[in-house]
Amino acid sequence: MPTLTRAEAAERASVVDVESYHVDLDLTGDGDTFRSRTVVRFRARPGAATFLEFEPVEVASMTLNGKPVPATAADGARLALTGLAEANELVVDATMRYSNNGEGLHRYTDPADGAVYLYQHLFINNAGRVLPSFDQPDLKASFRVSVTAPAEWTVATNGRLVSRDGGRWEFAATERISTYLASLIAGPWHVCVDEHDGIPLALYARAALAEQLDAQAGEIFEITKQCLDRFHEMFEIRYPFGHYQQAFAPEFNFGAMEYPGLVVFRDDLVPRSAMTYTEREYRASVIAHEMAHQWFGDLVTMAWWDDLWLNESFAEYLGSRVAAEATRYTGTWTTFALHRKAWGLRADQRPSTHPVAPSEVADTDQALLNFDGISYAKGASVLKQLVAWLGDEAFLAGVNAHFAAHAYGNATLADLLGALAEAGGRDLSGWAELWLRRAQVNTLRVETRRDGGTYAEVAIVQTAPDGFPTLRPHRVGIGLYDHRDGAVVRRELIEAELDATGRTVLPALAGQPVADLLLLNDGDLAYGKIRLDEDSAAAVPLLLPLLTDSLARAVIWASTLDAVVDGERPVAELVAQVLTALPVETETVIVEDVLRATRGLVDRYATAETRPAALELVAQAADRLLAASPAGGSRQLAAARGLIGATADTARLHGWLAGDGVPEGLAVDADLRWLIRYRLAVLGATDPAAIEAELAADRSASGEQWAARCRAALPDPAAKAAAWAAVVGDATLSNRLAELTAIGFWQAEQRDLLEPYVTRYFAEMPEMMRIRSGMSAEKIAIAAYPAVMVAEPTRELAAGLLAAPDLNPILRRVVQDHDDDMRRALLARGLGI
């Protein structure tokens, strides 16, 4: 689908006003196409011309106001119309193609039972793959959908079901929504239903996951109801889209998508194996995130993609907040501090950094690239600061005024800021300029001067990177922690407003007894790179295991990891801290995230000579935690996964597969078996026959995906050649299988074997971008990048590709960002750390 420029969108919006779509789909064929008949009603400037996005396989007929439209009008994935009337009716009957890349109407065959499932994903600019449409967010319209499907199928859409006669389904017209929010699922779905506060609820999953959905539906419904209640307390407009359905679909490109009335999640969120507490918490926060979108994005939609933050930043903030306030998962801000914010900080320091609210997003290609840690996590962090600054009452008053003014329509940054400023009585223009319109991140460092056992002066120094000299106001907490009776507890918490001068003295701390730990950003209000004073940093390895507050521990771990990424602290020091502090960690999310991040840093920052020893220490830390964790609990499972990913003890891993030496309470279920098999594949301790035997015992969607990953991980020339060919050249391979094959391909243990593929990535990845598109192509380009091949020749090849003037913009961003990551890794190695 060709990109749509902002200029084209503005011109089209000045010409047409869309009223409705009636989409009639025939899904009864068993081939790779389906029939789509669409009636589009719209008003226009008389005599004007316009176009619709449209990508048919074959057109049966097209009429505009009863007159035939020539077949030549549909060209280049657009349908050109001329001679428009004031009121227009376009009728198009066409054959369209199913996709296997998660865009348009995705068709999936479940390997477990051969059942076929469909889901529609029109995100950004894919509506033309299903129907002719004015595909931009500010041309909202009502959607009415009719579907003919096999009689045994279930069909659901945004709209309420009006009637069903065998395989014929009729749905009511929706409220006015943007084209990218039109949703549909079809197939032999397993369904669970409920109701809450007058709102019909439903859950959908593949029939192969019926047992898992039934077992988990109680918790999912409970969280859904709790979040609905909390949003109704916060917002004056009740949930605005009738029923609230949630479908768990295979091979979904996003983790979830907020289609009004029919939210779709990747079906990984209904796992068939054991879940950790963190994974359940994540599902709760995603449910809350997508529900927040029903107001921020669906009820009120951005006018153009430059205001993406009006959707994603608010949903990210409210996802963590509402899950913490309304559900049993009260620790979501700990997860946010350690995991989500780190995503934002990394994205904000890369060459592709951009403002939270950029002043210009030129086209839909650029819009896709902005779905990143800046639009999500940085934006949410900024909002958290804004709420603390305005006060919650004023924030919610402004938000509700914004909803009331723009319900079922579109809005801009200026609209929201105006409503918040009026409610809070504060001018937000300066705040917005510094936080929303300017890119990059500040570093906050603590400087202390002592007078014996007390502080003579404590100051916070704010700096900005070269090229981005903006200093910003920050609201931060500073915690004073003392070591008492075998624990590290907070003596006092002060909050301070940091101005934009660069150095802020904290008079409240002058004369205070020196703390064992002075924690900057206690409470995690600030968005910035946090650096402790020298004495506190030196005390962290001793004090961290005794610190009782999980959010404080998360802030410290996040600061530690970030300092290693920046080359300020050696990866060996991080590994030593992991060995000391992680075995006594009680918060599962900290265990999981620290192990994941440390493993990635060891793979890239440690040299080939030092990496085995460092990885063995990580394995020892996980093993100690495994021994200390309660049987059958989340920490035990998290520790086991961490151990499997780091150990080189193949005999132990084979023993676990055989049921020997498995810790009491640890279930070696299907997915843990595959994780073990995957690690054995990386280490060259299994073979293709063993992988196929594992797959034969687990002929499921998850089994198929794990097998693809394991085959790609084998340290065998033939296996690598087959995997690479699949990633770069097999367009018949589905989006998810291609991505997982790429994930399995690069292994730090196999650098010698993989050396020839470094050159091939930069030579062949442009062709992959031509046979794939959108988010699927981006995910594969990222997963296939030779990130573990840390060497100057890799950077030289990257520079050569980046010099190409016609390089795909998605691939350009992937290569720029990964090359910058490699620059950091080489810097750290060059410093001898």
Max intra-chain CA distance, the chain: 91
Catalytic residue among 55, 103, 175, 290: 290
Distance of alpha carbon 390 from alpha carbon 818, whole angstroms: 38
Query: How many of the other CB atoms lie within 10 Å of CB of 482?
Result: 16
Dihedral angle, C-alpha 532, 536, 537, 539, nearest 10 °: -160
Distance of alpha carbon 560 from alpha carbon 571, whole angstroms: 10
β-pairing, 262-266 with 256-257? antiparallel
Q: Crossing angle, helix 534-543 and helix 571-581, to 10 degrees?
A: 40
433 is catalytic: no
The tokens for 241 are 């889209």
Strands (E), 339-419: 409-411
The tokens for 721 are 């050649």
Cβ-Cβ contacts under 8 Å for 728 (sequence gap 6 or more): 760, 764, 765, 767, 768, 784
Instruction: Read off φ and ψ for residue 94, nearest 5 degrees.
Output: -150, 160
β-pairing, 74-75 with 154-157? unpaired
Cβ-Cβ contacts under 8 Å for 596 (sequence gap 6 or more): none
The tokens for 769 are 């971008």
Comparing CA positions, the residue from 499, 591, 602 lying closest to residue 554 is: 591
Distance of alpha carbon 171 from alpha carbon 169, whole angstroms: 7
Buried-state track 247-262, b at ≥16 Cβ within 10 A, e below 16: bbbbbbbbebbbbbbb
Distance of alpha carbon 17 from alpha carbon 429, whole angstroms: 32
The tokens for 347 are 């994205």
Distance of alpha carbon 818 from alpha carbon 785, whole angstroms: 8
Q: Which amino acid is at 453?
A: G
Distance of alpha carbon 673 from alpha carbon 686, whole angstroms: 13
Note the Cα 333 to chain centre separation in Å. Answer: 17
Distance of alpha carbon 165 from alpha carbon 148, whole angstroms: 10
The tokens for 318 are 């409210």
Distance of alpha carbon 160 from alpha carbon 368, whole angstroms: 30
Please, are residues 662 and 656 in contact by the beta-carbon 8 Å criterion? yes
The tokens for 192 are 């669970």
Specify the residue for token string 């057109």: 59
Q: Crossing angle, helix 588-605 and helix 809-830, to 10 degrees?
A: 80
Instruction: Read off φ and ψ for residue 141, nearest 5 degrees.
Output: -160, 165
Q: Catalytic site residues? A: 290
